[in-house]
Amino acid sequence: MRLDLVDVFGATGNSGNPLAVVHDAGAMDADAMLALTRWIGFSETTFLVPATDPGADYRVRIFYPAGELPFAGHPTLGTCHAWLAAGGRPRDPRRIVQQCGAGLVELSRAGDRLAFRAPPLVRSGALSTAERDEAARRVGVPVEAIADAVHADNGPGWQLLRLHSVEALMAIDPPARAPAGTNIGLIAPCPAGGALAFELRVFFTDDRGRMVEDPVTGSLNAAAAQYLFASGLATGAYRAAQGRATGHDGLIDARIDANGDVWIGGRTATVAAGAHLR
């Protein structure tokens, strides 16, 4: 087996969310995959295994320190990058098709940028008042700073809190620990007239109940874009930022096509390739 390190969504070199991609991992079981994921310590590690769907170009299993995910965004882009860099050739040169726990996910490429078609939401709609207040408590957001609160679940179970301002977003100082299963995204509009339309911060709990801020989160950005386009808060295309609070510099491109499908893209780059695992 071979391991690659990929930077995903970075505005410049090594400024996005790191991903470890293990090639030829068909012989590994889920326990071994989870153990390696925890040892590496990234927000996710992915494992390329033989595809079982005839429509797929490759199949990936996605792990984070608390278990396996049916879908995640930055692992989707980073795994596709590593698969292509290792000589992978899609059946259709106009698109790449990934098989994962959520089914088939379509990707497109243009230079050093990849984009995935956002999968359908498993759950959407407004949070109840109790759910909103509990989410706010878990991440330390004053309720009066919240403009809206919705389910944004496309696999990881995200809840999304839209705040009134970037200043309120960057002022958040979450608790060190939170209940298992915490998956909360925060989004706020940037000042009008700039290159960025929105800024995000995203929090989840690891396998020990510690609160982790994710540098850049493709799945939450996908769900947030679906919410923003559907509600009229965004039209056509926009660029968002994530990661400044963690010392990263992530840029995410979101667009809606003529069919109403939402696409999430960003820069991908190989950091290291070909490390042999034993």
% of residues, the chain, pLDDT over 70: 100
Please tell me the distance from the alpha carbon of residue 154 to that of residue 96, in angstroms, as a whole number. 20
The three-state (H, E, C) secondary structure of 113-126, written as one string: EEEEECCCCCECCE
pLDDT at 5 over 90: yes
Question: What integer pLDDT is reported at residue 66 of this predicted model?
Answer: 87
> What's the one-letter identity of residue 131?
E
Give the whole-angstrom CA distance, residue 18 versus residue 8: 6
Q: What is the pTM of this model?
A: 0.95
Burial 183-211 (b: 16+ CB within 10 A, else e): bbbbbbbbeeeeeebbbbbbbbbbeeeeb
Tell me what the mean pLDDT of segment 256-275 comes to. Answer: 96
Please check the confidence at residue 169 and state whether its pLDDT lies above 90.
yes
Region 84-93 average pLDDT: 95
pLDDT value for 94: 87
